[in-house]
């Protein structure tokens, strides 16, 4: 099923597709769009169960891949934040000829930690706890709690939370079923063994103070001339909110080199 999208910018420009994180909608990217819109055609995708696509049944990862394959044009620059980064990574692995470049933000090929492998990530028990307390009646409260976890550690934590809430104020809450499906994806997805199948240029962005996706996991990515890593020193899970000017510079520098 094809997803509805929001489109901005230059209709003749290169296409940037942006995938949001768990609990939010594509409106979270509205502060990034202005720096891109003069040169790029920007497509913001609300995942199934969110925003424009709130009526579409919740999907696990494979179903969402089918939705994206039905929706996205060829030769895109794919940008994903948090859960959206996992989906962008899987899409790139499955559709290498359709992705010109990949940008992940505060994301990881495996979101949850594996202490026995010394893999850094979110404690699986936290996701289980969120799954256990999430109900149709308390969706807002659970998302609000997760937002606080995302901003924790940032020197601008209160401002970050306030700005994200302002960006999302006119967006309907996601469905309970999609939130549960997303938590399962965060808990179960493990793409670490597939990274050598990515041939396109990549930019992987982390926040030094991120407690959900620790920047120590950045060492998993292949190191070469077109696989770049940037760590924002004063950011937690949303560096495009915490350090907006620096974030835009890093993003545009990468696009100038690989997105033309």
Selected catalytic residue, list 25, 54, 82, 236: 82
Is 181:59 a contact under the CB 8 Å cutoff? Answer: yes
End-to-end C-alpha distance for the chain, whole angstroms: 30
Q: Residues 6 or more apart from 78 whose CB is under 8 A from it?
A: 16, 17, 19, 72, 88, 91, 92, 99, 101, 102, 103
Collect all residues with Cβ–Cβ distance below 8 Å to 129 and sequence separation of at least 6. Answer: none
Q: Is 237 a catalytic residue?
A: yes
Which position has the token pair 């913001």?
A: 44
Catalytic entry in 6, 20, 175, 210: 210
Helix, strand, coil: what percent of the chain each, to 5?
Answer: 45, 20, 35
Which token pair is 98? 């359709």
For 115-125, letters b (16+ CB in 10 Å) and e give eeeebbbbeee
Catalytic-labelled residue, pool 6, 20, 204, 237 = 237
Residues belonging to the chain: 260
- Give, in order, the Cα–Cα distances in Å from 18 to each of 13, 26, 45: 15, 7, 6
Q: Which helix (H) or strand (E) holds 33?
A: helix 33-36
Does residue 94 sit in helix, strand or coil? Answer: helix
The tokens 């179903």 sit on which residue?
A: 63
What residues act catalytically? 82, 210, 237
């Amino acid at each position: 099923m094809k997803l509805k999208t929001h489109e901005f910018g230059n209709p003749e420009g290169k296409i940037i597709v942006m995938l949001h994180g768990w609990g939010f909608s594509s409106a979270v990217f509205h502060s990034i769009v202005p720096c891109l819109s003069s040169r790029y055609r920007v497509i913001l995708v609300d995942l199934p169960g969110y925003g424009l696509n709130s009526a579409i049944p919740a999907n696990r990862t494979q179903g969402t891949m089918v939705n994206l394959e039905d929706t996205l044009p060829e030769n895109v620059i794919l940008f994903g934040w948090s859960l959206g980064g996992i989906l962008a990574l899987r899409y790139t692995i499955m559709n290498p000829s359709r992705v010109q470049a990949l940008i992940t933000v505060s994301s990881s090929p495996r979101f949850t930690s594996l202490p026995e492998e010394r893999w850094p990530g979110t404690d699986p028990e936290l996701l289980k706890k969120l799954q256990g307390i999430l109900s149709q009646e308390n969706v807002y409260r659970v998302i609000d709690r997760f937002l606080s976890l995302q901003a924790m550690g940032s020197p601008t934590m209160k401002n970050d939370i306030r700005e994200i809430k302002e960006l999302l104020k006119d967006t309907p809450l996601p469905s309970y079923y999609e939130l549960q499906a997303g938590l399962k994806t965060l808990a179960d997805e493990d793409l670490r063994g597939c990274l050598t199948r990515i041939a396109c240029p990549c930019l992987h962005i982390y926040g030094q103070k991120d407690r959900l996706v620790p920047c120590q996991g950045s060492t998993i990515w292949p190191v070469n001339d077109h696989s770049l890593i940037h760590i924002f020193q004063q950011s937690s899970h949303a560096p495009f909110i915490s350090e907006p000017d620096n974030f835009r510079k890093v993003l545009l520098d990468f696009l100038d080199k690989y997105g033309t």
